[in-house]
Structure formats: structure tokens, C-alpha cells
């Protein structure tokens, strides 16, 4: 449960397996914090003792890493508080080890002006849980036509710009956005889905959709948009990021663009490397996502993209939906799944299944998203914020409704056994979550 401990002046986290991807550290070690900041971190830090003036936190051999950085999640506040609030999202985040998260702008009202952005920042600070940052919209009102005041939004704290779960479908508009953003170094984040191809589709097109009698969204809807937008990025020199890639050919297109030296990055989300279209089963609406779960060959290609670095980061894609929106016929149910509390254990499946080392898996959800978003987070180094995570990579648990802190419980991993449990989460030196309390 979340807590609001006072910030101790000097705290030593000892007897830990230190995991710090930014410094390539995976060894016994510890971290010393003073108030809100890290004073020192490293292998063998407390070999000669922690000193008499420090409060001692014994990690008992558990892993100690930077707090997780989630670069894409949705909070219902403002406008859809029945799905999630900043308070419930904050509790879910710290229960999942997330200490920094970046909110999508498709709130009500949308984040296309400074007042909404500042409202969210104020509310998040009041709750004092995970740190909350925001995207600004690419277009005003998410209408896909007129560009938002990106420079002003950036000055107010927007980290990057996206129309969220809606693609910027007009090529001329995206061209203007990339051209405008280029001299500022702003990142434009695109939901890659060609809307005229995906219209009416509710799951991946193919044999499973045909068997279930459901309209399908073809992989080409993602591939065509990715290929088009890569060309626009080449024309403008702008920084373009693709969200939640799900198809093999889209990953190939990004790989080729990177090899050509273009400013292209991308991420995926845990469902796209841990599940495939068969998870829909007999019309299981918790598995109705956007983009949809794909075929097994696409899932394998996402894993390959993570291994070779084509896919830069993993984001939770946390999208809570209330019970009434999900307990409908599959074609009518809302898209989306919660993900804050399953981000760590499902990403650790890449480690447990032998695809990558523990430090490389943790890098996908700490320093890499922090670097992409320009955040001073995801590192254990002197002067950095004392945002820490203590976790057991081996501890197993089962994803169930009563285990989740999110206001909505629509996890695509519902019922799945996972490995990797958060034991304690620290934000700015304050313990905000301890397992069992």
C-alpha cells in the first residue's frame, strides 16, 4: 500500500544486487541517499560499513534499481475519473515500481493548452506518488487539422507531442508538425494506424478473426503508416517516434530507417511481445487492444526488435476502462488494457525466457525511456533524484483483480502467472510503497 514517509536525512540501502543499466552495473552494492537525492551508488559501496549516522535499509539480497520510467500511459483525470484518477493511477504506478510516468494528452479537455497541463501537474504533486509528466497534442482538439502551440506547451512542461490513440492521418499536417518541431528538437509520437484500412476492425485480420466472425484490422494498416511517416521524417529531418509497434514489417521498416541515419525511434508494449491474437479466445474483451494483438510471427519479430535494439523502449500502454465499457459484445467493447502493475514482471519475461540479460530488460523500462523523453531519471548516480525500486526478479504471483491497485481492472494478463515482484518503491527519498503494508 502507498505511504508518505518523511524524507530521512541520510539513508543507506545495503545488501542489494545493484542493477543500473546506465552504468552497466549488475553486482552486489548499495545506494546512499540524503533527503531527495542520491549521494553515492555503486558496487561494494558499503563494504566497510554505512556509518553510524545513516538509516539502514537492508534489501536482503533483492535487486535495487532506478525506479521505472513509463513513457506512455493514460489517466482518466480530467474528464473520465470513473476509469482512473491521478490518485489511483499513482497508487498503481508505485505498486508496479513506476516512479515517473508520461500521460497521453487525450484527456477531457485534451492537453492542447497550458492550463490543462498545469492542472495535471498540480494534482499529481498533491498526491505525492509517482512523478507525472505530460505529452502535448500535435493538433488542437485532436482534430488532425490545426497544429497546437508546441513551443508554448514545451515551455509549460510538455515532453513530446502526440495525438495519443489517434493517428495524425493527414500527411500534410504531419509534415508541417515535423517541420515545425525540427529546429526545437521536439519529438513527434505517432500512433501508426492507417484509419481507412483499420476502420471497423476489432482484432487482427486473419484466420482467428474469420473463425470468430469478427472484422479484422490488417497488419498493412500499421505498415503503410510507418512507411509513409518515415518518408515524411526524411523530408523534414524531424524526430519521429512510433508508439506500440506490433508488426514484423513495421519493425523492419524502422530498422532500415535507423540504418539510413534517420531520427526514428519506436517502442512497444508488453502485450505485443507476450501475447498473440489467440489471447482473444472466445471473445475475451480484456484482450481487445489498439493496435490489436497480432499473429505469432509478429510477436516473435517484436522480441527480435527488442533484442537487436531496433525497438528502443517498452511502455505500459496503460489504458484503464470501466467494467461497463468492457463487459459488452466484443465488437462493441472499448479498446485498451491496464499495464502499470504488469510492466515489470511481463518485461522480465524477456529475461526469464532467455532473450536478454536482466540488466538489458531493466534498461528498456528505466534509462532508455528517460533518455528518449529527456528526463533526468532512470539512473543511479550522485546528484540524481532518489527514485528507487527494490524488487525480486524471481518471485512469482498471479495477475488477478484483487491484486491490482488501478481503479479499472481490465488487464490483458488477467489470470496469468508472472515472475517479478515489487518489494518497495521510493520517490524523492520517500518510501511510497512497501509490499505487505
Last residue in a domain, options 322, 339, 373? 373
> 310 and 390: one domain?
no
What's the CATH number where 420 sits? 2.30.40.10
Residue 379 within any structural domain of the chain: no
Residue 405 within any structural domain of the chain: yes
- CA 204, CA 25: separation in Å to the nearest integer? 40
Last residue in a domain, options 373, 395, 419? 373
Of 102, 18, 114, 185, give the one whose Cα is nearest residue 375: 102
> 147 and 192: one domain?
yes
> 169 and 45: one domain?
no
What's the CATH number where 86 sits? 3.20.20.140
- CA 4, CA 419: separation in Å to the nearest integer? 27
Last residue in a domain, options 327, 352, 373? 373
Residue 3 within any structural domain of the chain: no
What is residue 392's predicted lDDT score, i.e. its pLDDT? 98
> 277 and 150: one domain?
yes
What is residue 54's predicted lDDT score, i.e. its pLDDT? 87
> 24 and 110: one domain?
no
Contact 293, 335 (CB under 8 A): no
> 178 and 195: one domain?
yes
> 191 and 302: one domain?
yes
Bridge partners (DSSP) of residue 318 are 73, 337
Answer yes or no: 70 catalytic. Answer: no
H/E stretch holding 270: helix 270-274
What is residue 13's predicted lDDT score, i.e. its pLDDT? 96
- CA 146, CA 279: separation in Å to the nearest integer? 39
Give the active site residue among 26, 70, 112, 317. Answer: 317
Length of the chain: 437
- pTM for the full model? 0.96
> 362 and 238: one domain?
yes
Residue 327 within any structural domain of the chain: yes
What is residue 199's predicted lDDT score, i.e. its pLDDT? 95
Residues whose CB falls within 8 Å of the CB of residue 190, separated by 6 or more in sequence, listed in order: 162, 167, 168, 174, 225, 229, 240, 241, 242, 243
Residues whose CB falls within 8 Å of the CB of residue 294, separated by 6 or more in sequence, listed in order: 204, 219, 246, 247, 272, 276, 277
> 58 and 170: one domain?
no
- CA 134, CA 119: separation in Å to the nearest integer? 11
- CA 149, CA 155: separation in Å to the nearest integer? 10
> 15 and 121: one domain?
no
Spans in the chain with pLDDT lower than 50: 1-4
Domain boundaries, position 404: 11-64+386-434
130-188 confidence digits (pLDDT tens): 999 999 999 999 999 999 999 999 999 999 999 999 999 999 999 999 999 999 999 99
> 350 and 411: one domain?
no
The DSSP secondary structure of 196-254, one letter per residue, reads HHHTT--EESSHHHHHHT--EE-THHHHHHHHHHHHHHHHH--EEEEES---HHHHHHH
CA dist 26 → 61, 214, 358 (Å) = 13, 47, 9
> 59 and 96: one domain?
no
Task: Give the burial class of 260: count Cβ atoms within 10 A of its Cβ; 0-12 exposed, 13-18 middle, 19 or more buried.
Answer: exposed
Number of domains forming the structure of the chain: 2
**Which DSSP letter does residue 292 get?**
P
Residue 395 within any structural domain of the chain: yes
b/e burial code for range 219-246 (CB count within 10 A of at least 16 → b): bbbbbbbbbbbbebbbebebbbbbbbbb
Residue 4 within any structural domain of the chain: no
CA angle 27, 32, 33 (to 5 degrees): 135
Residue 378 within any structural domain of the chain: no
Contact 291, 165 (CB under 8 A): no
306-325 confidence digits (pLDDT tens): 999 999 999 999 999 999 99
106-119 confidence digits (pLDDT tens): 999 999 999 999 99
Which three cell numbers mark 367? Answer: 534509462
Report how far Cα 332 is from the mean position of its chain's Cα atoms. 26
- CA 211, CA 209: separation in Å to the nearest integer? 5
What is residue 5's predicted lDDT score, i.e. its pLDDT? 53
Residue 393 within any structural domain of the chain: yes
Amino acid at each position: 500500500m502507498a505511504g508518505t514517509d518523511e524524507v530521512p536525512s541520510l539513508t543507506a540501502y545495503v545488501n542489494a544486487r545493484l542493477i543500473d543499466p546506465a552504468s552497466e552495473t549488475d553486482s552486489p552494492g548499495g545506494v546512499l541517499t540524503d533527503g531527495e537525492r542520491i549521494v553515492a551508488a555503486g558496487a561494494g559501496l558499503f563494504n566497510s560499513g554505512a556509518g553510524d549516522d545513516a538509516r539502514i535499509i537492508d534489501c536482503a539480497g533483492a535487486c535495487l534499481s532506478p525506479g521505472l520510467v513509463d513513457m506512455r500511459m493514460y489517466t482518466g483525470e480530467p474528464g473520465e475519473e470513473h476509469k482512473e484518477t491521478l490518485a489511483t493511477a499513482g497508487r498503481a504506478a508505485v505498486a508496479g515500481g513506476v516512479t515517473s510516468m508520461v500521460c497521453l494528452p487525450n484527456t477531457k479537455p485534451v492537453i492542447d493548452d497550458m492550463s490543462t497541463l498545469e492542472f495535471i501537474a498540480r494534482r499529481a504533486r498533491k498526491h505525492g506518488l509517482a512523478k507525472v509528466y505530460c505529452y502535448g497534442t500535435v493538433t488542437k482538439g485532436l482534430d488532425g487539422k490545426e497544429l497546437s502551440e508546441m513551443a508554448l506547451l514545451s515551455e509549460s512542461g510538455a515532453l513530446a507531442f502526440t495525438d495519443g490513440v489517434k493517428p495524425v492521418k493527414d500527411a500534410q499536417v504531419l509534415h508541417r508538425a515535423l517541420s515545425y518541431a525540427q529546429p526545437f528538437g521536439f519529438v513527434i509520437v505517432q500512433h501508426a494506424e492507417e484509419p481507412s484500412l483499420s476502420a471497423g476492425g476489432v482484432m487482427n485480420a486473419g484466420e482467428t478473426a474469420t473463425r470468430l466472425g469478427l472484422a479484422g484490422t490488417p497488419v498493412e494498416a500499421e505498415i503503410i503508416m510507418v512507411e509513409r511517416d518515415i518518408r515524411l521524417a526524411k523530408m523534414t529531418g524531424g524526430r519521429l517516434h512510433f508508439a506500440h509497434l506490433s508488426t514484423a514489417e513495421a519493425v523492419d521498416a524502422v530498422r532500415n530507417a535507423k540504418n539510413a541515419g534517420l531520427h526514428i525511434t519506436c517502442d512497444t508494449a508488453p502485450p505485443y511481445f507476450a501475447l498473440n491474437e489467440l489471447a482473444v479466445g472466445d471473445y475475451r474483451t480484456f484482450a481487445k487492444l489498439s493496435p490489436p494483438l497480432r499473429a505469432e510471427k509478429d510477436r516473435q519479430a517484436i522480441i527480435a526488435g527488442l533484442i537487436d535494439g531496433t525497438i528502443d523502449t517498452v511502455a505500459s500502454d496503460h489504458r484503464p476502462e470501466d467494467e461497463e465499457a468492457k463487459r459488452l459484445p466484443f465488437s462493441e467493447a472499448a479498446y485498451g488494457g491496464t499495464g502499470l502493475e504488469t510492466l515489470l514482471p511481463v518485461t522480465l519475461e524477456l529475461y526469464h525466457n532467455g532473450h536478454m540479460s536482466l540488466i538489458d530488460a531493466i534498461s528498456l523500462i528505466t534509462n532508455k525511456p528517460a533518455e528518449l523523453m529527456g528526463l533526468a531519471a532512470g539512473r543511479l548516480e550522485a546528484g540524481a533524484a532518489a527514485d528507487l525500486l527494490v524488487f525480486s526478479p524471481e518471485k512469482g504471483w498471479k495477475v488477478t483483480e484483487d491484486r491490482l491497485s488501478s481503479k479499472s481492472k481490465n488487464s490483458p494478463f488477467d489470470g496469468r502467472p508472472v515472475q517479478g515482484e515489487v518489494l518497495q518503491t521510493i520517490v524523492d527519498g520517500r518510501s511510497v510503497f512497501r509490499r505487505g503494508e
